[in-house]
């Protein structure tokens, strides 16, 4: 049964006492309740750990990279041998489409070396496709195959949506994450066998959502567009326009009511989320062609053009000091919000997501805004600095995910090292990443068990080993 675990059960007690020296150890200390084992990932942990001189960075990598596999993966096969994978976020016993994709992303490069890992990805693609078909607008789900599945109070058992819906906040990046997972898996494996009728049905559902949410919000279109509601089925008064979010004017972009942080958006068109959607629709169109779904492929490319035109016309705004930058959110009427949020997709992550290069002039100017006081959600403190988020309710807590993303989107060795220094200072003896950390007091943090942040740190070290191996030879 999927049960929340305490940090002490995740980190074996002897891991706190035993120095992490992979020049001597042949294996790493393993959590007592390990859920999934990948020989390929374990081998890479041992290999790269032997290259890392800094003992803290070494231990952080060795614990963070496998954390999702160790503690959040629930894999099974049905009677026909079809794989099925449920991945919790960590301390929350539910699976987010966005988080689960990001949690396993660093393992993609090993699927051709490990059949078990390949099946894990196939099972997650299958699971996400079924979830999308069940509930087009949900962002997170429970595992109803568990004996006692956790139920969310907002969508009780018996609602007209799926029993497995945990949270029904519409975020277009959730659907884009399913596409990214599918595209990433095919690029690495070249295996089309899991892109079946269920997957195709999920793609059709995604197009259904896109066409609905591209419309101008009016009293007539509102009848079919998304709105957030409470347990009683009535519109939610805490959300702008009683559950609909702010008005929007059709411009090719796709509406959201919530951000990738699960917070309510200010304006309904989130530029980074739309950018992520366009990148992965373009790549998914190639898969659709290969499985003889030419009409869907052409539809994907049509939507890509509409979104990219919308970003160009609506999403690029003029900053009085920095010139042209990407807005975080727009409404299609001319209003825009200048900021960035640490959750991916973000403006900072656009090159990471494949939307633009790191030297794109608009991105360069946007990056200057994001990593400075020009961004209302950037904080400097006594011990650290970085992007904050309305999600944690305070402006004093930076998010390690954004600091990791800063390093992942940089070709400046000094900047990458500074990011590592920040992350090293703020693990506070756990050697794991956290959701947010007080910039004045690293012992004040949220979420001790956050699979996505741990995986992203592991991904950063894998990238550094390939592109900047000299950094690993330094004591940070």
Token couple for 2? 């999927």
Q: Specify the pLDDT at position 9.
A: 38
Q: Specify the pLDDT at position 146.
A: 60
Residue entry with tokens 């990738």: 260
Q: Specify the pLDDT at position 11.
A: 39
Note every long-range contact of 347-350, with CB atoms under 8 Å and residues 24 or more positions apart, other chains counting: 347/271, 347/272, 348/387, 348/402, 348/405, 348/406, 348/409, 349/272, 349/405, 349/408, 349/409, 350/272, 350/275, 350/326, 350/409
Token couple for 425? 């200072």
DSSP state letter for 108: G
CB 129 within 8 A of CB 123: no
Q: Specify the pLDDT at position 253.
A: 98
Residue entry with tokens 């009293």: 219
Which sign does the torsion angle of CA 436, 437, 439, 440 carry? positive
Cis peptide before 345 (omega within 30 of 0): yes
Query: Which distant-in-sequence residues (6+ apart) come within 8 Å of 460 by Cβ?
Result: 404, 407, 408
Token couple for 459? 């991904």
Helix or strand (DSSP H, E) at 86: strand 83-87
Token couple for 199? 């997957």
Token couple for 378? 């950037």
Other CB atoms within a 10 A radius of the CB of residue 441 amount to 16
Phi and psi based region of residue 242 (left: phi greater than 0; alpha: psi -120 to 50; beta: remaining): left
Other CB atoms within a 10 A radius of the CB of residue 197 amount to 9
Q: Specify the pLDDT at position 392.
A: 83
Token couple for 353? 């997501």
Q: Specify the pLDDT at position 28.
A: 59
Q: How many CA atoms lie within 13 A of 199 on its CB side?
A: 21
Token couple for 313? 């016309």
- pLDDT averaged per 10 residues, the chain (length 476): 35 40 53 87 95 96 96 93 94 94 98 97 98 93 67 51 81 98 98 97 98 96 88 64 90 96 94 98 98 98 98 98 98 97 97 98 98 95 93 88 98 98 93 95 92 97 98 96
pTM assigned to the model: 0.92
Residue 191 class from Cβ within 10 Å (0-12 exposed, 13-18 middle, 19+ buried)? Answer: middle
């Amino acid at each position: 049964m999927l049960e929340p675990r305490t940090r002490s059960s995740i980190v074996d007690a002897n891991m706190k006492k035993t120095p992490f020296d992979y020049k001597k150890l042949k294996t790493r200390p393993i959590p007592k309740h390990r859920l999934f084992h990948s020989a390929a990932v374990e081998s890479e942990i041992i290999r790269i750990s032997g290259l890392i001189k800094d003992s803290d960075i070494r231990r952080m990598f060795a614990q963070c990279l496998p954390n999702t596999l160790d503690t959040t993966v629930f894999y099974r096969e049905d009677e026909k041998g079809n794989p099925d994978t449920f991945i919790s976020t960590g301390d929350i016993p539910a699976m987010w489409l966005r988080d689960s994709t990001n949690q396993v992303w660093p393992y993609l490069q090993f699927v051709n070396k490990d059949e078990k890992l390949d099946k894990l990805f196939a099972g997650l693609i299958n699971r996400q496709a079924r979830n999308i078909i069940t509930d087009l607008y949900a962002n997170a789900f429970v595992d109803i195959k568990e004996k006692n599945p956790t139920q969310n109070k907002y969508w009780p058992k018996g609602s007209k949506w799926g029993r497995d819906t945990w949270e029904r906040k519409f975020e277009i990046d959730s659907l884009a994450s399913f596409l990214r997972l599918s595209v990433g898996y095919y690029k690495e494996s070249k295996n089309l066998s899991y892109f079946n009728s269920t997957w195709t049905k999920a793609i059709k559902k995604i197009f259904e959502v896109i066409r609905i949410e591209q419309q101008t919000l009016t009293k007539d279109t509102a009848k079919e567009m998304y709105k957030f509601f409470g347990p009683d089925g009535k519109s939610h008064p805490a959300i702008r326009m009683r559950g609909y979010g702010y008005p929007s004017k059709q411009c090719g972009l796709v509406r959201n009511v919530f951000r990738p942080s699960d917070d309510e958006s200010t304006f309904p068109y989130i530029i980074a989320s739309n950018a992520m959607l366009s990148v992965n629709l373009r790549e998914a169109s190639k898969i659709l062609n290969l499985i003889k779904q030419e009409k869907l492929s052409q539809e994907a490319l049509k939507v890509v053009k509409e979104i990219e035109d919308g970003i160009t016309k609506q999403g690029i705004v003029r900053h009085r000091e920095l010139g042209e930058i990407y807005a975080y959110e727009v409404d299609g009427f001319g209003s825009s919000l200048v900021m960035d949020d640490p959750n991916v997709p973000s403006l900072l992550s656009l090159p990471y997501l494949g939307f633009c290069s790191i030297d794109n002039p608009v991105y360069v100017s946007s990056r200057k805004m994001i990593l400075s006081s020009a961004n209302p959600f950037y904080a400097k403190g006594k011990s650290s600095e970085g992007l904050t988020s309305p999600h944690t309710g305070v402006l004093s807590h930076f998010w390690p995910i954004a600091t990791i993303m800063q390093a992942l989107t940089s070709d400046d060795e000094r900047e990458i090292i500074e990011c590592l220094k920040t992350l090293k200072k703020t693990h506070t003896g756990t050697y794991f990443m956290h959701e947010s950390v007080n910039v004045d007091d690293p012992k004040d943090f949220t979420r001790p068990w956050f699979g996505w942040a741990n995986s992203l740190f592991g991904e950063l070290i894998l990238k550094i080993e390939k592109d900047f191996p000299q950094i690993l030879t330094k004591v940070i």
